Structure 1
Amino acid sequence: MGCSSSLPESTSFGRLDGFSSENVEATDSKNLRVKLVLLGDSGVGKSCIVLHFVRGQFDPSPKVAVGASFLSQTVALQDSTTVKFEIWDTTGQERYAALAPLYYRRAVVAVVVYDITNPQSFDKA
Structure 2
Amino acid sequence: MTRQMFVKYAGASGDFNPMHYDDDLARGAGNPSVFSQGMHQTALLATFATDWLGAVNIRRFQVRFQNQVWPGDILTCSGTVVGVNESKEGAVVTVDLTCTRQTGDVAISGSADFAVSAP
TM-score (norm 1): 0.26
Greater helix content: 2
Larger RCO of the pair (alpha carbons < 8 Å, separation 6+): 1
Greater strand content: 2
